[in-house]
Amino acid sequence: MWPSYGRLRRPVQALAFAAVLAAASHAAAGTLRLVALGDSLTAGFGLSPGKAFPDRLEAALRARGFDVKVINAGVSGDTAADGLARYEWAVPHDANALIVELGANDMLRGQKPEATKAALAAILDKARAAHLPTLLAGIRAAPNLGPEYDRAFDAIYPALAKAYDVSLYPFFLDGVAGNPKLNQADGLHPSPEGVEVIVRRILPAVEGLLKKASP
């Protein structure tokens, strides 16, 4: 006797469901995971949910056709050494690319540039060991710290980018720093409008980074 349609339907449905799961798994595997390791500028200090740099960057990249998830690994108050200390759990093993935005708090606290450089170098060592394409986002010293400090601090990022052969975005706050219309009342953290300027300006560098990444 031929099996009834009802008996046939169950295994067919099971096969179809398995195919859907396999397709979903493949789609998820194809999504690039971009980690933004940083301080309050990345974390989104003072901003509403969904308005932080990683959120807005992800939206901009998706609008440009990238299948990407931007992971917010920013912690307010972190120095470069703090970022290094939490690297292992902040940057998952399945990450495909990395943005490093650290050093602003080092500068604001007047920490020795050589210490900041050493911590950032150790982060880049870890990223290189993991074959993780990296974009180093630079910070510039405030002018009130004096010309000698400014020169030493500002030289950190281009020197590291050259030494480690990673992409460099020279100044994370380019177009935003010093503009009261693009910053919160503290004059240090970007407003939602400021974040949009940051995203717009850094976007080409991030697109170049993702083209080096493999899902």
**CATH code at 153?**
3.40.50.1110
What is the reported pLDDT for 29?
Answer: 56
**Total domain count, the chain:** 2
What is the reported pLDDT for 174?
Answer: 98
**Average pLDDT value for residue range 26-46:** 88
Same domain, 18 and 75: no
Percent of the chain with pLDDT over 90: 85
Q: For 26-40, 53-67, 148-162, 169-183, which range has the lowest pLDDT when averaged over its residues?
A: 26-40
Q: Give me the DSSP letters along the chain.
A: -PPPHHHHHHHHHHHHHHHHHHHHHHHHHHSEEEEEEESHHHHTTT--TT-SHHHHHHHHHHHTT--EEEEEEE-TT--HHHHHHTHHHHS-TT--EEEEE--HHHHHTT--HHHHHHHHHHHHHHHHHTT--EEEEP----GGG-HHHHHHHHTHHHHHHHHHT-EEES-TTTTTTT-GGGB-TTSSSB-HHHHHHHHHHHHHHHHHHHTT---
What is the reported pLDDT for 215?
Answer: 78
Whether 215 maps to a domain, the answer reads no
Whether 102 maps to a domain, the answer reads yes
Whether 80 maps to a domain, the answer reads yes
Q: How far apart are CA 102 and CA 194, in angstroms?
A: 18
- Of 4, 48, 93, 186, the catalytic one is 186
pTM metric for this prediction: 0.86
pLDDT at 7 over 60: no
What is the reported pLDDT for 33?
Answer: 98
- Of 40, 55, 78, 191, the catalytic one is 40
**Catalytic annotation present for 55:** no
Same domain, 25 and 37: no
**Amino acid (1-letter code) at residue 48:** S
Domain that holds residue 22: 1-30
What is the reported pLDDT for 21?
Answer: 38
**Average pLDDT value for residue range 158-172:** 98
Cα–Cα distances (Å) from 129 to 3, 33, 49, 126, in that order, read 58, 17, 33, 5
Burial 108-146 (b: 16+ CB within 10 A, else e): eeebebeebbebbbbbbeebeeeebbbbbbbbbbbeeee
pLDDT at 60 over 50: yes
Same domain, 105 and 22: no
**Catalytic annotation present for 40:** yes
User: What would the pLDDT profile of 87-128 be if each residue is shown by its tens digit?
Assistant: 999 999 999 999 999 999 999 999 999 999 999 999 999 999
Same domain, 37 and 21: no
Q: What is the mean pLDDT of the chain?
A: 89
Whether 112 maps to a domain, the answer reads yes
pLDDT at 152 over 60: yes
Whether 8 maps to a domain, the answer reads yes
- Of 39, 78, 154, 189, the catalytic one is 189
**Catalytic annotation present for 214:** no
**Average pLDDT value for residue range 139-149:** 95
CB 103 within 8 A of CB 120: yes
Same domain, 192 and 116: yes
**Average pLDDT value for residue range 2-13:** 38
- Beta bridge partner(s), residue 136: 100, 168
What is the reported pLDDT for 2?
Answer: 31
pLDDT at 187 over 80: yes
Tokens of 132: 């993780």
What is the reported pLDDT for 214?
Answer: 81
Same domain, 19 and 36: no
Percent of the chain with pLDDT over 70: 87
